[in-house]
Amino acid sequence: MPEISFVKAALPKAGAVVVLMAEGGEPSALHLALDAASGGAVARGLEAAGFKGSKGQSATIWAPAPGITKLVALGMGPAAALTPDSAEAVGGAAYPLIRAEKDVLLAADGIEMPVALRVALGVKLRSYRFDLYRTTQKPDDLPKLARLAVALAEPTAARAAYAPFRAVAEGVFLSRDLVSEPPNVLHPVEMAERCRGLEALGVTVEILGLKEMKKLGFGALLGVAMGSAIEPRMVVMKWNGSKKKTEKPICFIGKGVTFDTGGISIKPAGGMEDMKWDMAGAGTVVGLMAALAGRKARVNVVGLVGLVENMPSGTAQRPGDVVKTASGQTVEVINTDAEGRLVLADVIHYAITKHDPKWMIDLATLTGAIIVALGHEHAGLFSNDDTLAAQVEAAGRATGELCWRLPLSDAYDKQIKSDIADMKNVGTRAGGSITAAQFIQRFVQGRPWVHLDIAGTAWSAKDLPTTPKGATAFGVRLLDRLVADHFEG
């Protein structure tokens, strides 16, 4: 995972070089200088390769000039279509071509600085690996890319402008680490301890244990936790970056089921290992807090995560149980595998009563139904506030973390009426993601609220432009952008 630096545009003495070219565009000065140093070999090579700069097209020329190991030319597509937001994919496409080189110079002297920064960020995001548990890798199989120097006209300005992106990338990587960790390592107690790491960034971290949550009446969250040998935790992370210290905060709330067997309503065995990432909502909130604090965002924000493990055991919650939530509302548990909403119910209630937020957004790998509805490209977005919903959708488009709004209404709400309690925790198959959102809405007390169902987007089965397959950290970029665009005063 390379260090990104910024340098004046000059021919390097060693290492590899990446030149970027828009379709029908002109080579940059650095590109031309390289060509001259190669005695015209670069131009001839690209001509022979039929390189035109179309999107995703690449050509490699080995040892074009003394000391230079290789030159990679990468097409960016039509110049008119190139924006900072779309430039990250260019960086993502560059990474596999340069991962075996230790030192790489990115010739960005021909493109605008905002675009160059995002190309660099794309390289960085795409370079993520989680190798903690591999003990037999051969050095040759590992990427060697250690340093990416971005060559452009104003390196000092670029360095400053890149700093927030560096913080965001770190937030993304933290989130991916947490989601990638296996469930025997990252259980609720361990994940809470990892959150303490944010203190180094100036975040106040408070951890609530079993005793405190009992006192707060978290009957729903504790009902989920009681089947596990490991105690639950709730972590409250505060970042006060606003100039107005007394400004009401915004709240991000994450579902953190560190492993979800389904409990007594146990899941089928096939694919159950995926349930280690059932804490991805919480993973996103933690990564987001790291990003916001890391770039010293001028906003007051509280991140809250409810951490539990959902296990079947002699002490586990049963279908038919009725639990009392912190809000006082009672829930008939029909299916112990619809546990995420139970965790969120108590954490959201706590967020409102304790922190009085302007608005709140929860993230959860909540329902399989959202995959049947939307697949893996869009997260499901539910909201009681059209303005906030539109802002989240726009931030999603800008960062490539797409959201699609789905409906809420009384007709759906009726589907979770219980015969014995205030509500039941599942309806029928019909509109399963919507009824889950209706359930959560019963705990938001009418506050502006967005619920993101990220069950389809938290983990990717294949490589994406700036995300290697595995944990995506979906939501960190999106919500960081939301805050940056609208809520920093």
In the residue annotation, 44 being an active-site residue is answered as no
Which is the catalytic residue, given 55, 267, 296, 298?
A: 267
Q: Note whether 399 binds other proteins by CB under 8 A.
A: no
Position among 131, 199, 377, 386 found at the interface with other proteins (CB under 8 A): 377
C-beta separation of 239 from 301 below 8 A: yes
Q: Note whether 429 binds other proteins by CB under 8 A.
A: yes
Choices 217-225, 256-264, 335-343, 400-408; region in contact with other proteins by CB under 8 A: 400-408
Position among 175, 415, 425, 441 found at the interface with other proteins (CB under 8 A): 415
Q: Note whether 407 binds other proteins by CB under 8 A.
A: yes
Nearer to other proteins by Cβ, of 262 and 303: the residue is 262
Q: Note whether 376 binds other proteins by CB under 8 A.
A: yes
Q: Note whether 204 binds other proteins by CB under 8 A.
A: no
In the residue annotation, 267 being an active-site residue is answered as yes
Position among 184, 204, 315, 409 found at the interface with other proteins (CB under 8 A): 409
Nearer to other proteins by Cβ, of 134 and 397: the residue is 397
CA distance 402 to 415: 28
Spatial CB neighbours of 287, under 8 Å, sequence gap ≥ 6: 171, 172, 173, 174, 175, 176, 178, 473, 476
Position among 198, 235, 293, 434 found at the interface with other proteins (CB under 8 A): 434
Nearer to other proteins by Cβ, of 227 and 380: the residue is 380
Choices 91-99, 182-190, 375-383, 386-394; region in contact with other proteins by CB under 8 A: 375-383
- In our burial notation (b when 16+ CB lie closer than 10 A, e otherwise), range 126-164 reads bbbeeeeeeeeeeeeeebebeebbbbbeebeebbeebeb
Nearer to other proteins by Cβ, of 139 and 270: the residue is 270
CA distance 296 to 72: 36
Nearer to other proteins by Cβ, of 429 and 469: the residue is 429
Q: Note whether 93 binds other proteins by CB under 8 A.
A: no
Token pair, residue 98, equals 């340069």
End-to-end CA distance of the chain: 33
Position among 66, 271, 314, 446 found at the interface with other proteins (CB under 8 A): 271
Binding residues for other proteins, rule CB under 8 A, total 26
Q: Note whether 404 binds other proteins by CB under 8 A.
A: yes
Choices 14-22, 84-92, 151-159, 408-416; region in contact with other proteins by CB under 8 A: 408-416
Q: Note whether 142 binds other proteins by CB under 8 A.
A: no
Q: Note whether 369 binds other proteins by CB under 8 A.
A: yes
- Give least dist CB 138 to other proteins, A: 33
Token pair, residue 355, equals 């922190």
CA distance 281 to 279: 6
Token pair, residue 164, equals 């927030």
Choices 186-194, 201-209, 339-347, 363-371; region in contact with other proteins by CB under 8 A: 363-371
Choices 16-24, 64-72, 322-330, 403-411; region in contact with other proteins by CB under 8 A: 403-411
Nearer to other proteins by Cβ, of 64 and 396: the residue is 396
Q: Note whether 435 binds other proteins by CB under 8 A.
A: yes
CA distance 198 to 285: 12
Nearer to other proteins by Cβ, of 178 and 454: the residue is 454
CA distance 177 to 353: 31
Q: Note whether 375 binds other proteins by CB under 8 A.
A: yes
Q: Note whether 341 binds other proteins by CB under 8 A.
A: no
Position among 56, 397, 411, 445 found at the interface with other proteins (CB under 8 A): 411
Which is the catalytic residue, given 238, 341, 477, 481?
A: 341
Compute the half-sphere exposure of residue 249: CA atoms within 13 Å on the CB side of its CA.
Answer: 22
Q: Note whether 371 binds other proteins by CB under 8 A.
A: yes
Nearer to other proteins by Cβ, of 252 and 412: the residue is 412
For residue 168, report the phi and psi dihedrals to the nearest 5 degrees.
Answer: -65, -40
CA distance 294 to 29: 35
Q: Note whether 287 binds other proteins by CB under 8 A.
A: no
- Give least dist CB 371 to other proteins, A: 4
CA distance 64 to 257: 53
Token pair, residue 403, equals 């959201």
Nearer to other proteins by Cβ, of 64 and 431: the residue is 431
Token pair, residue 244, equals 């107005």
Question: Does the CA dihedral 354-359-365-369 come out positive or negative?
Answer: positive
Residue numbers of the site for other proteins (CB under 8 A)? Answer: 271, 368-369, 371-378, 402, 404, 406-407, 409, 411-412, 415, 429-435
List, by residue number, the catalytic residues. Answer: 267, 341
